[in-house]
């Protein structure tokens, strides 16, 4: 269950009209709170809501009021503040500046494109069958890499959306088989797959044929890169998706990633396909934060993407 509360100070007036009002009975107050909260947050009718016991808060003139939202066997507890005179309800989102999940995205062992020692890291959560990911890949490479040279490094993490992309997981496994031996060959495979997604899917949209095509492409890339053929064949044949699935689960749970592409530029999140100009603005911001002057250039006049710019 995901309840999208405002990431800012919200003050809901519990009083109606301009004249002074007496404190309503507890049942009436609770009903007024529920009506206003449901209205403010567009809470669906089938979501249940319960109001807990108020207790002192750290804010003068306000008590803490816990609210619990329930749906489908799951629950979420959210703390509000209620004024002592029962006329205001406040919701605050507290952002812990010492805890940013994006700062701890594990990239050890992942193939790196660009300068491995660069102070700015772009992590892209990618689905190799996702058309928006393919377009994002085109945005990143080669123009962005060429523009920033050795100032930025790029890392891809796998989030195959298996519910809608039948060969995405297989592609990720094949890519990681290549990465075990050679990072450059991994990137060659990723480049090819993102550029030829429609061909891999084929007119028949038969996953078995797509699997065979992916394996053939991976082995061709391996041969060109002079990889250990027997080791690569064994890895591809085994199709061990354990690491890919674990990484995807981690991304969903820790970073709330439910679609692709999603990028993090030194922790700053970019959700969905964005124009190259916007990506560069975020990278420039990260470079300046590291005390590095971004390279000058005229911003590309890239058209804005369609409204639906991420696959979920």
How confident is residue 28, by pLDDT bands cut at 50, 70 and 90? confident
At 43, the pLDDT band (50, 70, 90 cuts) reads confident
Region for residue 72 given its phi and psi (left: phi exceeds 0; alpha: psi -120 to 50; beta: otherwise): left
Q: Which of 1-10, 98-107, 244-253 has the highest mean pLDDT?
A: 244-253
- Parts of the chain belonging to CATH 3.40.30.10: 101-289
Residue 15: the pLDDT is 45
Say yes or no to pLDDT of 45 above 90.
no
Q: What is the mean pLDDT of the chain?
A: 88
On the question of pLDDT at 221 being above 80, the answer is: yes
pLDDT > 90 fraction of the chain, expressed in percent and rounded? 75
For residue 267, is it left (φ>0), alpha (ψ between -120 and 50) or beta?
Answer: left
Question: Kind of pairing, strands 62-71 and 55-56?
Answer: antiparallel
Query: Average pLDDT, stretch 106-122?
Result: 96
What CATH fold (topology level) applies to the domain 10-91? Nuclear Transport Factor 2; Chain: A, (3.10.450)
Pick the closest to residue 10 from 78, 98, 57 (CA basis).
78
d(CA 187, CA 185): 5
217, 189 Cβ separation under 8 angstroms: yes
Topology at the third CATH level for domain 101-289 = Glutaredoxin (3.40.30)
Q: Which residue has the higher pLDDT, 42 or 130?
A: 130
| Rounded distance between C-alpha atoms, residue 70 and residue 52, angstroms | 13
Closest CA to 70 of 93, 56, 52, 92: 52
What is the pLDDT at residue 301?
47
pLDDT over 80 (residue 134)? yes
Tell me where in the chain the CATH 3.10.450 domain(s) lie. Answer: 10-91
Query: What local confidence, expressed as pLDDT, does residue 128 receive?
Result: 98
| Whether residue 291 has pLDDT greater than 90 | yes
State whether the Cα torsion 167-169-172-174 is positive or negative: negative
Q: How far apart are the first and last CA of the chain?
A: 16
pLDDT of residue 94: 75
pLDDT at 69 over 90: yes
The answer to whether residue 65 scores a pLDDT higher than 90 is yes
């Amino acid at each position: 269950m995901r309840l999208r509360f405002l990431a800012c100070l919200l003050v809901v007036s519990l009083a109606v009209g301009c004249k002074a009002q007496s404190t309503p009975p507890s049942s009436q107050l609770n009903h007024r709170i529920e009506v206003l909260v449901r209205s403010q947050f567009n809470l669906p009718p089938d979501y249940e809501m319960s109001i807990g016991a108020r207790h002192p808060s750290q804010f003068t003139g306000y008590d803490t009021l816990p609210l619990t939202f329930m749906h489908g066997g799951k629950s979420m507890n959210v703390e509000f503040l209620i004024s002592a005179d029962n006329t205001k309800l406040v919701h605050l989102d507290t952002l812990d500046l010492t805890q940013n999940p994006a700062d701890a995205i594990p990239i050890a062992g992942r193939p790196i494109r660009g300068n491995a020692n660069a102070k700015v890291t772009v992590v892209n959560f990618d689905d190799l069958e996702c058309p928006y990911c393919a377009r994002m890949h085109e945005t990143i490479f080669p123009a962005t890499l060429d523009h920033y040279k050795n100032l930025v490094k790029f890392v891809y993490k796998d989030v195959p959306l298996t519910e809608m992309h039948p060969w995405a997981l297989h592609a990720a496994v094949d890519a990681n088989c290549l990465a075990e031996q050679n990072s450059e060959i991994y990137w060659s495979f990723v480049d090819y797959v993102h550029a030829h997604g429609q061909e891999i899917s084929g007119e028949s949209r038969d996953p078995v044929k797509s699997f065979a095509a992916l394996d053939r492409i991976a082995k061709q890339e391996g041969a060109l890169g002079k990889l250990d053929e027997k080791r690569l064949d064994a890895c591809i044949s085994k199709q061990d998706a354990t690491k890919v699935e674990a990484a995807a689960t981690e991304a969903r749970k820790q970073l709330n990633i439910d679609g692709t592409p999603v990028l993090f530029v030194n922790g700053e999140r970019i959700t969905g396909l964005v124009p190259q100009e916007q990506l560069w603005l975020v990278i420039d911001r990260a470079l300046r934060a590291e005390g590095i002057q971004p390279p000058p250039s005229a911003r590309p006049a890239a058209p804005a993407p369609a409204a639906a710019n991420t696959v979920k």
